[in-house]
Amino acid sequence: MQWFIDIITNPYIVVGVSSWALAQVAKMIVYWVVNKKFDIWRLFGDGGMPSGHSATVVSVATACALFNGFGSFQFAISFILAIIVCHDATGVRLETGKQTLVI
């Protein structure tokens, strides 16, 4: 049972899951305001803005930087993963035409 306690008290997991949950709630609110329709399933669905995937990996990378330092291997790995996920999320949105890239 100690493994379960270790998982739910791991600060990186808590930060990542919390960020995902906040992004999903924000996504539901944005959908509600834009479409004038409340859809509880937006809490669990993929797609839309903000990206739950991007929020998760960026928050974990930030936690790694703060807890372990910017020179740590934990930050390096999480930073590279965050770049890949965010780049992929941007590409998917551009490809589907749901979002435009503003530079």
Could you report how far apart the first and last alpha carbons of the chain are, in Å? 50
Quick one: pLDDT band at residue 71, thresholds 50, 70, 90?
very high
Q: Average pLDDT in the 55-61 region?
A: 96
pLDDT over threshold 90, residue 56:
yes
pLDDT over threshold 60, residue 102:
no
Closest CA to 53 of 76, 87, 28, 30: 87
- In this predicted model, which residue has the larger pLDDT, 4 or 43? 4
- Cα–Cα distance for residue pair 57/1, rounded to 1 Å: 27
Within 10 A of 2 (CB to CB), how many other CB atoms are there?
Answer: 6
Beta strands in 1-103 (DSSP E): none
| Res 73: pLDDT | 95
- In this predicted model, which residue has the larger pLDDT, 15 or 30? 15
H or E element, residue 51:
none
Alpha helices (H) along 36-72 = 52-68
- Cα–Cα distance for residue pair 58/49, rounded to 1 Å: 15
Give every CB contact of residue 6 below 8 A, 6+ residues apart in sequence.
none
- What average pLDDT is seen over the chain? 87
| Res 47: pLDDT | 74
